């Protein structure tokens, strides 16, 4: 493994004795490495396969983990080493499925979203969602930020244009024009940005920990939309109930979760095209906006 050779050159004295592949999404390879001194770590690499510019991907991920950890609200794995091609992290554990763990996750996310209020939406540099650039240009207007930088941003992507016809794209633009009526005004808060259940793990002592962030100061409900919509496991309602004990969501939030989840669905179309019914899911969400009299909150 070239990445292990890089670690050796960087002064990593232990030698690998076992390498186990882990799930790594579309970004790159992820492996659990056990060393001859008994220690373990997670080694993540990026391959330059022409699917986006990988030069800063891992460094941005490490920065996002540090930003989340610095809040004290949520846990993340410790970053042990980072370079343009290799990210080495503290190993974590699979997340429990019990109600106490999910309630603790909800409480910690509520603390994150209520104690990190910023002045503007965005981040000091662009990031990544998968292998697609995330436009983090600073923006004072949350509705415009969601519309232009999280939804309409995907319209020029070739695979999305193949998947969605002109009427679909018009409906998306119409939805975006109606966001001030649909989405309550909310302050910019630090968000994980890719908060589906697969990115929720646990520390050795059973505390929720987050991985693979796409951070920015964004809309709290957009952060939550992935937990609610992306393969939501049974019992996740307890996470949201605990969240609302600290930070109540405004009426209609369940309806808004689907609309805000469009960002993830559009990104999926941009990566892979219309697979696994993604295009149909987008069209279902957009269906009320195919006429000028779309729904309100």
Give me the residues paired with residue 129 across strands: 132
Domain-located, residue 295: no
Angle formed at CA 185 by CA 293 and CA 147, multiple of 5 degrees = 60
Q: Is 133 found in the same domain as 48? A: no
Q: Is 69 found in the same domain as 107? A: no
Please state the length of the chain: 297
Which CATH number covers residue 9? 3.30.200
Which CATH number covers residue 135? 3.90.1200.10
Q: Which of 89, 124, 156 is the last residue before a domain boundary?
A: 89
Domain-located, residue 294: no
Q: Coil, helix or strand for 202?
A: strand
Q: Is 235 found in the same domain as 111? A: yes
Q: Is 145 found in the same domain as 45? A: no
Q: Where are the alpha helices (DSSP H) in the chain?
A: 2-9, 57-70, 99-115, 142-144, 158-163, 166-177, 179-182, 220-229, 237-246, 253-260, 262-272, 278-286
Q: Taking phi first (over 0 means left), then psi (-120 to 50 degrees means alpha), and beta for anything else, what does residue 116 get?
A: alpha
Report phi then psi at 33, rounded to 5.
Answer: -110, 125
Domain-located, residue 297: no
Q: According to the model, what pLDDT value does residue 296 have?
A: 52
Domain-located, residue 274: yes
Compute CA 200 distance to the chain's CA centroid, rounded to the nearest angstrom. 11
Q: Is 253 found in the same domain as 128? A: yes
Q: How many CB atoms lie within 10 A of CB 72?
A: 11
CA dihedral 162, 167, 170, 172 (to 10 degrees): -70
Q: Is 187 found in the same domain as 156? A: yes
Q: According to the model, what pLDDT value does residue 233 have?
A: 80
Q: According to the model, what pLDDT value does residue 54 have?
A: 61
Q: Which of 49, 67, 89 is the last residue before a domain boundary?
A: 89
Q: Is 106 found in the same domain as 30? A: no
Total domains present in the chain: 2
Give the residue carrying structure tokens 């968000």. Answer: 191
- Tokens encoding 131: 């292998």
pTM to 2 decimals?
Answer: 0.93
Domain-located, residue 162: yes
Parent domain of 75: 2-89
Q: 238 Cβ partners below 8 Å, 6+ apart?
A: 99, 102, 103, 106
Q: Which of 89, 123, 138 is the last residue before a domain boundary?
A: 89
Domain-located, residue 118: yes
CA 70, 71, 73, 76 torsion-angle sign: negative
Q: Is 259 found in the same domain as 204? A: yes
Q: Is 226 found in the same domain as 81? A: no
Q: Is 231 found in the same domain as 118? A: yes
Q: Is 76 found in the same domain as 140? A: no
Q: According to the model, what pLDDT value does residue 79 have?
A: 97
Domain-located, residue 94: no
pLDDT tens digits, the chain, 297 residues: what are they? Answer: 678 888 888 888 778 899 999 876 667 789 999 999 899 999 998 866 555 456 799 999 999 999 999 999 999 999 999 998 899 999 999 999 899 999 999 999 999 999 999 999 999 999 999 989 999 999 999 999 999 999 999 999 999 999 999 999 999 999 999 999 999 999 999 999 999 999 999 999 999 999 999 999 999 999 999 999 988 887 789 999 999 999 999 999 999 999 999 999 999 999 999 999 999 999 999 999 997 655 554
Domain-located, residue 31: yes
Residue 250 vs residues 109, 177, 183, 185, 255: alpha-carbon distances, Å: 16, 21, 10, 10, 11
Q: Is 251 found in the same domain as 109? A: yes
């Amino acid at each position: 493994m070239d990445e292990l050779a890089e670690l050796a050159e960087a002064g990593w004295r232990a030698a690998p004795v076992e390498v186990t592949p882990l799930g790594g999404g579309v970004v790159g390879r992820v492996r659990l490495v056990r060393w001859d001194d008994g220690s373990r770590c997670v080694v993540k690499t990026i391959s330059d396969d022409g699917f986006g510019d990988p030069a800063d991907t891992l460094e941005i991920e490490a920065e996002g983990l540090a930003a989340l950890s610095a809040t004290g609200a949520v846990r993340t794995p410790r970053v042990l080493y980072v370079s343009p091609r290799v990210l080495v992290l503290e190993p974590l554990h699979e997340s429990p499925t019990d109600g106490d763990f999910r309630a603790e996750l909800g409480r910690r996310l509520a603390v994150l979203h209520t104690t990190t209020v910023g002045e503007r939406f965005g981040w000091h540099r662009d990031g990544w969602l998968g292998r697609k650039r995330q436009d983090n240009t600073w923006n004072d207007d949350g509705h415009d930020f969601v519309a232009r930088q999280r939804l309409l941003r995907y319209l020029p992507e070739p695979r999305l244009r193949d998947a969605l016809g002109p009427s679909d794209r018009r409906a998306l633009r119409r939805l975006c024009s109606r966001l001030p009526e649909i989405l309550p005004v909310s302050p910019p808060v630090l968000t994980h940005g890719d908060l589906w259940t697969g990115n929720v793990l646990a520390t050795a002592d059973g505390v929720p920990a987050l991985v693979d962030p796409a951070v920015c100061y964004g809309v709290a409900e957009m952060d939550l939309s992935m937990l609610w919509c992306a393969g939501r496991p049974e019992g996740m309602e307890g996470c949201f109930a605990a969240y609302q004990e600290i930070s109540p969501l405004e009426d209609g939030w369940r309806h808004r979760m689907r609309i805000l989840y469009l960002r993830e669905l559009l990104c999926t179309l941009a990566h892979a095209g219309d697979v696994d019914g993604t295009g149909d899911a987008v069209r279902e969400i957009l269906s009320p906006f195919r006429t000028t009299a779309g729904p309100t909150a």
